[in-house]
Amino acid sequence: MLFGASNFTVLLVLIASCFAKKTTQESFTSKETLEQTFEQGTNSELLWAPYRSNCYFGIRPRFVDGTPFIFGLMWFDTTKFDSMTRLRHFVSDEDHLERFTWEAYDPRLGGRENIIDPENNLNLTIHFAKTHDDQNWIVRVNGKPLDPTLNTTTSVILYMNQNIGKDPEGPSRLMHINNGNTQDENTFEFTGISEDLGKYEVLINDNYGNYYTNDTLDSIEVVPGCNASRSSHVGLTIPDTEVWRARDIFQSLLTDSIKDIVKELGETIDSGLVPSVLTLRNLHEFDQGNFHYIQKTFDMREEKGFEFDVVYNNMDSTQTIDSGKQATKLINDAIYEINVRFDNHFDIEDTENTGDKRKFAMEVLGNLLGGIGYFHGTQVIDRETVLDEDQFESIKFEHFKEEGPYSLFTSVPSRGFFPRGFYWDEGFHLLQIMEYDFDLAFQIAVSWFNLIDENGWVAREVILGPEARSKVPQEFTIQSPQIANPPTLLLALSEMLTKLIENENELGFSHSVVDAEQEEGISSQLGSNFEYIIKYSKIIYPRLQSHFKWFTETQKGLIEEYLEDMEDDEQFQEVHQNFVYRWLGRTVTHCLPSGLDDYPRAEIPDVAELNVDALAWVGTMARSMKNIAHILGLEKDELQYAETERKIVENLDLLHWDSKTGTYCDVTLDAEGDDEMQRVCHEGYVSLLPFALKLMPRNSPKLKNLLTLMSDPEKLFSPFGLRSLSKQDEHFGAGENYWRGKIWMNINYLCLDAIQYYFPEVIAGSPETSELHDKEVSNMAKKLYNTLRENLINNVYGNWKETNYVYENYDPVDGHGTGSVQFTGWTSLIVNILRHQGL
């Protein structure tokens, strides 16, 4: 495994203890108390964070669905009339930011986000930190001009809303209480009450900064209420479901104000008044309401810039934030502890040889964690449309409706382009997150498993509510219970449990997890609450069973089409006919369910097509279920899943291995011939998945073939990582060119991990060596492992050094980043790979 040796051992001990068949009564003083302590502690620590992943900065509480408090941040330079086109709110590649990154982040503690916005001449740093009881938080916003000679402004718009919930007459409200009558008109105090959160206050205080002024004008108040030299406040009521439209509503209100100004003063307005013209006022005389805008416009002609704090205090807390000095200490303590935790888990040193790779790794991990969001709302589902042969041209889901509401706690692949939950991606995210915070990874996995419905289905994309749907093309919003996706959540679990079973005798179940935690500096409440995991596992196991059943039934292939033509083929007769699979929902051009969207398949789709990667993923599911059943002591289930895994492993060779090309291939009917079985071979990631998912026997002679394929620079090997498709394939780089040669971290990670699994001697100093392969093959594995690993690190790190970002994928020709920018989903697995640089 690419898990750290020592930390991974601790995790194994932890899981062993969590899933142990028997727990001694002496280990617990009160089961209910321990369960409550874990749940209350976790819910408290993870209550507040920037969980609105789609925003550059947006806060909402986790698990508060009825009456949450919502906070967000927007900004733009107001010196030009067209400035609103550069108003920032939702993360977007089209904003052309030079940088937006969490330099340090932990959802339990807080962090520091840095944003460099050249078009708005702004270097923005946002700190977020919480009190030790996790009830209160501070947001510190610091802005500096990139170039103070440009004479720009920075207008920051804060907005906050106390959702009313289902009862409009209920107590939930948010009121501005000082109404600008304090000595400082730029200081604000709000008081709020939420049925879910209780009573609280919000304080907004300036630390320093000069508001916009213009010495050439007698006054910059263009009309009453439009004065950029002081903060502006507008309160109104917005329906809970529309709060996410804060940017649109702001622009609409500001446009109304501008039109009124032009009507009153004419179109010729002094340029020095533009910042005031672009200041929001209460033109429509709204009542104060539950939704509030605060706009602060700072003069950016001095390098110092500005800084202000937003403080949220729960009135029942004994740890309220009462001073700027206290806020500074919370921020500094949070950053310090994040650094300590990171070093305890990854230990990546900056030396002459490694450069600033620690900073790189910390930012990549921070952005993965900073992309964790909490989503609540309805999902659009079509349960009626049946997929048949007509689907190959296009799939039309016309019988959809909204279901729910549902909730999901998840990381996202990319805050700018994919700010929602992806089943296919999340398992890879967890492989990274569990290295840093096992409890957090567990919470995310639990949230996903809770979405498995009574039929065993979970959507491939979980798009909850209008805010999440606003970032998704309409044709992709509808989810179908017939469409699957690679079950990577079970992959993550399987990887851990497989290693656990291999080390069960060595580790035992009596090892003291508390001692292990102290040795490794790992913080884990689960370490003292094994009973909770056992209890939950017994609850979730039937769901996993139904999910396995749903997957294997909906994706089952049609082997009958081949039986007559292959009746004389002895090898085919050995195929386990009930264990063949294909991706339902593929079209002529795409196979979205596979996750490898445009990877070439048979040119003419057929209902009898059998996909090697679908079979391999079912094998992974069977292995995972086998391991869970083993840990829970369910011997009958364990034998059943082991038998399924065995048959799938055999079918991979019997049905999908092509001796001519020496690789694994899809199977289909020859549409241009006599409907005979033929293998469709496109050397690339699909060919590697039986190896990457460790489904080949450890002594398989076919391993050499795949090592050769991965090592061939004319096919898959490149100076930047393994290509998704062979350079010699006719489809290489063609068409949409998404999975047709681009280098993707998730499959590269699996391949590195598999090399280490089959050839443990590739890790220097490893006590385990493989005696199943000759020296030539072992040396080939060592060379491939070391060069591939080095190439991946150098390329991803090099791109980050040059651009400040990591990417969705990388070009196979020159290695430059392509696809979505700041794709800190599975690309963050580079941190797992990097930590082994000293081995």
Cis peptide before 168 (omega within 30 of 0): no
Checking if the pLDDT of 179 tops 70, the result is no
Which pLDDT belongs to residue 668?
95
Q: In what order do the strands lie in the sheet with 291-299?
A: 48-49, 58-61, 69-76, 153-162, 291-299, 232-236
Which pLDDT belongs to residue 11?
38
What is the dihedral sign for C-alpha 711, 714, 719, 723?
negative
> What is the arithmetic mean of pLDDT over 648-673?
92
Checking if the pLDDT of 513 tops 50, the result is no
Cα–Cα distance for residue pair 68/162, rounded to 1 Å: 6
The closest of 501, 623, 737, 658 to 15, measured between CA atoms, is 501
Do 58 and 36 share a structural domain?
no
Do 310 and 162 share a structural domain?
yes
User: Cβ(602)–Cβ(643) under 8 Å?
Assistant: no
Q: Is residue 712 part of a domain?
A: no
Which pLDDT belongs to residue 805?
96
Q: Name the pLDDT band for 497 (thresholds 50, 70, 90).
A: low
Range of the domain at 286: 54-343
The tens digit of pLDDT for each residue in 423-453 reads 999 999 999 998 898 889 888 988 999 999 9
Q: Name the pLDDT band for 835 (thresholds 50, 70, 90).
A: confident
Burial of 564: CB neighbours in 10 Å, binned 0-12, 13-18, 19+: exposed
Pick from 495, 530, 565: which residue ends a domain? 530
Q: DSSP character for 271? A: G
| CATH number of the domain encompassing residue 485 | 1.50.10.10
Q: Name the pLDDT band for 390 (thresholds 50, 70, 90).
A: low
The string of DSSP codes covering 473-541 is -GGGT-B-TT-----HHHHHHHHHHHHHHHTHHHH-S---HHHHHHHHT---GGGG-HHHHHHHHHHHH
- The CA-atom distances, in angstroms, between 633 and each of 26, 190, 637 are 21, 56, 9
Q: Give the number of C-alpha atoms closer than 13 A to the C-alpha of residue 261, restricted to the C-beta side.
A: 27
Q: Is residue 352 part of a domain?
A: no
User: Phi/psi at 701 (nearest 5 deg)?
Assistant: -70, -15
Do 562 and 618 share a structural domain?
yes
Annotated catalytic residues are: 597, 808
Checking if the pLDDT of 371 tops 80, the result is yes
Q: Is residue 418 part of a domain?
A: yes
Which pLDDT belongs to residue 233?
96
Q: Name the pLDDT band for 18 (thresholds 50, 70, 90).
A: very low
Q: Is residue 404 part of a domain?
A: yes
Cα–Cα distance for residue pair 803/355, rounded to 1 Å: 16
Q: DSSP character for 222? A: S
> What is the arithmetic mean of pLDDT over 661-665?
96
Cα–Cα distance for residue pair 472/321, rounded to 1 Å: 39
The angle subtended at Cα 420 by Cα 445 and Cα 357, nearest 5°, is 75
Kindly report whether the global pTM for this prediction surpasses the value 0.85. yes
> What is the arithmetic mean of pLDDT over 171-183?
74
In DSSP terms, which residues pair with 377 in a beta bridge?
Answer: 406
Q: Pairing relation of β-strands 400-410 and 291-299?
A: unpaired
Q: Name the pLDDT band for 521 (thresholds 50, 70, 90).
A: very low
Radius of gyration of the chain (CA): 28
Checking if the pLDDT of 28 tops 50, the result is no
Checking if the pLDDT of 484 tops 80, the result is yes
User: Phi/psi at 347 (nearest 5 deg)?
Assistant: 50, 55
Do 59 and 38 share a structural domain?
no
The closest of 165, 542, 481, 135 to 315, measured between CA atoms, is 135
The tens digit of pLDDT for each residue in 237-266 reads 999 999 999 999 999 999 999 999 999 988
Q: Is residue 351 part of a domain?
A: no
Phi-psi region of 89 (alpha: psi -120 to 50; beta: other; left: phi over 0): alpha
Do 504 and 481 share a structural domain?
yes
3-state secondary structure of 415: coil
Which pLDDT belongs to residue 267?
81
The tens digit of pLDDT for each residue in 775-824 reads 899 999 999 999 999 999 999 999 999 999 999 999 999 999 999 999 99
Which pLDDT belongs to residue 594?
97
Question: Which segments of 621-737 are extended strands (E)?
Answer: 657-658, 663-664, 666-669, 677-680
- The CA-atom distances, in angstroms, between 617 and each of 112, 556, 686 are 39, 12, 11
H helical segments located in 632-668: 635-656
Q: Name the pLDDT band for 569 (thresholds 50, 70, 90).
A: confident
Q: Is residue 489 part of a domain?
A: yes
Mean pLDDT over each residue of the chain, to the nearest integer? 88
Question: Which segments of 230-283 are extended strands (E)?
Answer: 232-236
Checking if the pLDDT of 687 tops 50, the result is yes
What is the dihedral sign for C-alpha 238, 240, 241, 245?
positive
* E strand or H helix that includes residue 381: strand 373-382
Cα–Cα distance for residue pair 360/834, rounded to 1 Å: 10
Checking if the pLDDT of 7 tops 50, the result is no
| CATH number of the domain encompassing residue 166 | 2.70.98.110
Which pLDDT belongs to residue 825?
94
Exposed e or buried b for every residue in 115-131, given b needs 16+ CB within 10 A? Answer: bbbeebbbbbbbbbbbb
Pick from 660, 681, 702: which residue ends a domain? 681
Checking if the pLDDT of 181 tops 60, the result is no
Which pLDDT belongs to residue 388?
76
Which pLDDT belongs to residue 509?
38
Joined tokens for residue 461: 């994309």
Q: Is residue 698 part of a domain?
A: no
Amino acid at 89: H
Joined tokens for residue 420: 């929602």
Which pLDDT belongs to residue 451?
96
Joined tokens for residue 565: 């033509």
Q: DSSP character for 165? A: -
Q: Is residue 524 part of a domain?
A: yes
Cα–Cα distance for residue pair 451/445, rounded to 1 Å: 10
The angle subtended at Cα 112 by Cα 344 and Cα 174, nearest 5°, is 125
Do 664 and 575 share a structural domain?
yes
pLDDT over 90, % of the chain: 73
User: Cβ(139)–Cβ(110) under 8 Å?
Assistant: no
Which pLDDT belongs to residue 299?
96
The tens digit of pLDDT for each residue in 46-83 reads 999 999 999 999 999 999 999 999 999 999 999 998 99
Do 735 and 675 share a structural domain?
no
Checking if the pLDDT of 526 tops 60, the result is no
User: Phi/psi at 436 (nearest 5 deg)?
Assistant: -100, -40
Cα–Cα distance for residue pair 651/577, rounded to 1 Å: 9
Do 305 and 229 share a structural domain?
yes
Cα–Cα distance for residue pair 16/20, rounded to 1 Å: 6
Q: Name the pLDDT band for 763 (thresholds 50, 70, 90).
A: confident
> What is the arithmetic mean of pLDDT over 755-779?
82
Other residues' Cβ atoms within 10 Å of the Cβ of residue 448: 19
Tokens 């060596």 — which residue?
A: 769
In DSSP terms, which residues pair with 73 in a beta bridge?
Answer: 158
Cα–Cα distance for residue pair 176/292, rounded to 1 Å: 8
The closest of 836, 839, 838, 834 to 363, measured between CA atoms, is 834
In terms of pLDDT, which residue wins out, 347 or 428? 428
Checking if the pLDDT of 8 tops 80, the result is no
In terms of pLDDT, which residue wins out, 504 or 327? 327
* E strand or H helix that includes residue 785: helix 775-803
Do 311 and 409 share a structural domain?
no
Joined tokens for residue 701: 């002679």
> What is the arithmetic mean of pLDDT over 146-153?
96
Do 58 and 38 share a structural domain?
no
Q: Give residues with Cβ within 8 angstroms of 679, minimum separation 6.
A: 656, 658, 665, 666, 667
3-state secondary structure of 122: strand
Do 504 and 388 share a structural domain?
yes
Cα–Cα distance for residue pair 164/173, rounded to 1 Å: 7
Do 63 and 38 share a structural domain?
no
C-alpha 795, offset from chain centre: 22
What is the count of structural domains for the chain? 4
Cα–Cα distance for residue pair 198/434, rounded to 1 Å: 33
Q: Name the pLDDT band for 525 (thresholds 50, 70, 90).
A: low
Pick from 653, 681, 709: which residue ends a domain? 681
Q: DSSP character for 632? A: T
> What is the arithmetic mean of pLDDT over 532-551?
85
Joined tokens for residue 615: 């079979």
The angle, 0 to 180 degrees and rounded to 10, between the axes of the packed helices 423-436 and 488-502 is 40
User: Cβ(569)–Cβ(632) under 8 Å?
Assistant: no
3-state secondary structure of 641: helix
- The CA-atom distances, in angstroms, between 175 and each of 48, 198, 735 are 21, 14, 55
Cα–Cα distance for residue pair 616/664, rounded to 1 Å: 11
Cα–Cα distance for residue pair 735/141, rounded to 1 Å: 45
Checking if the pLDDT of 180 tops 50, the result is no
Contacts 24+ apart (CB under 8 A), 515-520: 516/9, 516/10, 516/13, 516/14, 517/10, 519/10, 520/6, 520/7, 520/10, 520/344
User: Cβ(820)–Cβ(807) under 8 Å?
Assistant: yes
3-state secondary structure of 115: strand
